[in-house]
Amino acid sequence: MKIKVCVGSCCTLLGSMGILDQIDDLKDIINNDADNYSDEELEVEVIKCLGFCKDEIEQAAPVVVIDDETMFHATGQTVMEKIVNKMRK
């Protein structure tokens, strides 16, 4: 699974570093629980700015892209839920 987390200034201001930390913690949990989670690799990429903050979409930040799905107003909770649902066996 490919996860892109925007760490541009708008997204950082609204909490993307916290989301990154939570993804790291979740990665450890998933890697240590082969019974319940798929062994698919979680690739996390940090992006300077995905460009959405410059669009007309108001308050798009923080932006996280999981595979081909773009999440606006991402929170630790919504991102964790998405990852867990996709990785759970």
List binders of ligand FES among 8-37 (CB under 6 A): 8-11
- Choose one: 20-28, 43-51, 64-72, 75-83; the region binding ligand FES (CB under 6 A): 43-51
Residues in binding contact with ligand FES, number by CB under 6 A = 12
Cβ-based nearer residue to ligand FES, 8 or 76: 8
Comparing CA positions, the residue from 9, 10, 5 lying closest to residue 61 is 10
Q: Residue 5 CB, nearest distance to ligand FES (Å)?
A: 9
Cβ-based nearer residue to ligand FES, 15 or 84: 15
Sole residue written with tokens 């903050």? 53
Is residue 74 near ligand FES by the rule CB under 6 A? no
Comparing CA positions, the residue from 17, 8, 36 lying closest to residue 79 is 17
CA distance 86 to 70: 15
Cβ-based nearer residue to ligand FES, 50 or 66: 50
Task: Give yes or no for a contact between 53 and 8, defined as CB atoms under 8 angstroms apart.
Answer: yes
